[in-house]
Every structure is written in C-alpha cells, then in structure tokens.
A and B are shown apart, each in its own frame.
Chain A
Amino acid sequence: DAGITQSPRHKVTETGTPVTLRCHQTENHRYMYWYRQDPGHGLRLIHYSYGVKDTDKGEVSDGYSVSRSKTEDFLLTLESATSSQTSVYFCAISEFGQGDGYEQYFGPGTRLTVT
C-alpha cells in the first residue's frame, strides 16, 4: 500500500462543467502521475509531476491541466468536461524498487462520467 487516495471515487457531471480530481499521498513521494484507462486503450499518461510546481505533459494532455502546490496533493482539472473525457482516472506515485529502477504504484481510481 503506497498510501494513495483519490477523491471523489465516482462522479457524474454535465458537459461543459469544470471538474477537479484529487490525488493525495502520505509518504512524501516526489513523482506523481495521472493516467486514464479506457477500453481498448490500456493506460495512457495525462500529466506527471516531478516535484512541487514541477509538472509535464503526457501522451493525452489536451483538455486537462494539473497543479501541485504541496508534495502530498496532485490535482487534475478538466476545465470544461466533454463526453470523450468519460473514463477511469488513476493517480500513481513512483519509488525506487527492489529491482533496477522505479516502480509505479497506483491509487484506487476515480470513475468519471460526463453526460
């Protein structure tokens, strides 16, 4: 258990409304990530952070923004939600594992439905 929580766990919202998803971790991890999972697409990286106020775009960043003002919180914002953003969103942290590199550990996910 990497001490990751996500809120809310489920949300239904209307097209055009702003939505913010929160990822909270308790173990002072430097690196945090937001992914979305869709049928037929696996997991795709949206944005990631390598420190407070340090973020970068991933593969599918259009329509999303992120903020990290504290080490423990990484926020994902959909400025104006669209139906194509209906998905399951996962937050992850990474830490150096027992192997040769960093391993990512995931939160429980947020199921977002945009109607």
Chain B
Amino acid sequence: DQQVKQNSPSLSVQEGRISILNCDYTNSMFDYFLWYKKYPAEGPTFLISISSIKDKNEDGRFTVFLNKSAKHLSLHIVPSQPGDSAVYFCAASAGYSGNTPLVFGKGTRLSVIA
C-alpha cells in the first residue's frame, strides 16, 4: 500500500512557465515532508522541506505548499528552466528526528522545454 503517491509519472512545461508537481499521502502520522531532485546517474539532491506546522515554505524559485486536511502537497517552480529537467521525488516522515525513516513516492519526471 503506497503511503506517498505521485500520480503523474511525467510533466512537460515550457521554459519560463510555472511547474507544479503534486504529491498525496495517506498516513496521517506524517508531519514532515521533503522534495528531492534527481538527475540520471546521480544521487537525489535535497530541494526543500516543510513541516506540518506550516502551509508554505519558499526557497528561491521553489515553493512547497502543504494542505494537511487534503493530505496533499505540491512543489511550484517559477520560472522553470531547462536545468530543472529531472525526476522529482516527494518524501514524508512521521517525526523530525534523524532516525525517522523517509517514505518516498515513485517520482515525477519533469521536462522543461526551451
């Protein structure tokens, strides 16, 4: 049973436009959420996180929104750039400590077209 779902396997966006990547979760114990970006043949790289006490967190072009009642989060990238083309993973954990395992979604492949 998938606890973290990324229902869109792929997404294409034109350069300069907004990219919106979505993630849903089923476990109501999850209270910390992270987004990772992965290029081919490299390890995932941390992008941005959000805890359940917030509904929005921004870092430059990246903003994560959390809707706890809907168990839904989204990553907005504005403006999208060709270098943003990668696979994006949503992850969640129940707790904030270092030994709390992360549960990952299956990823969404973003293609930014010039």
* A65 proximity list for chain B (CB < 8 A): none
Interface size of B in residues (CB-CB distance below 8 Å): 32
- Interface residues of A, CB < 8 Å — how many? 33
Q: Are B41 and A109 interface neighbours, CB within 8 A?
A: yes
**A74 proximal to B (CB < 8 A):** no
> Are B45 and A106 in contact, CB atoms less than 8 angstroms apart?
yes
A100 to B105: give the CA distance in the assembly, Å: 21
Contacts of A31 in B (CB 8 A): 98-99
Instruction: Kindly provide the distance from the CB of A73 to the nearest chain B CB, expressed in whole angstroms.
Output: 18
Cβ of B106 and Cβ of A99 under 8 Å apart? no
B48, closest chain A residue (CB) = A99
Contact between chains at A101 and B104 (CB < 8 Å):
no
Q: Would you call A43 an interface residue if the criterion is a C-beta within 8 Å of the partner chain's C-beta atoms?
A: yes
Partner of A43, one of B51, B99, B104: B104
Contact of B99 among A4, A42, A48 (CB under 8 A): A48
Show 22 A/B contacts (Cβ-Cβ < 8 Å), sorted by A: A31-B98, A40-B106, A41-B106, A42-B89, A43-B91, A43-B104, A48-B99, A48-B101, A50-B98, A94-B98, A95-B98, A99-B49, A99-B50, A100-B51, A101-B49, A101-B95, A102-B97, A102-B100, A103-B46, A104-B34, A106-B45, A108-B42
B interface, CB within 8 angstroms of A: 6, 32, 34, 36, 41-46, 49-51, 53-54, 57, 89, 91, 93, 95-107
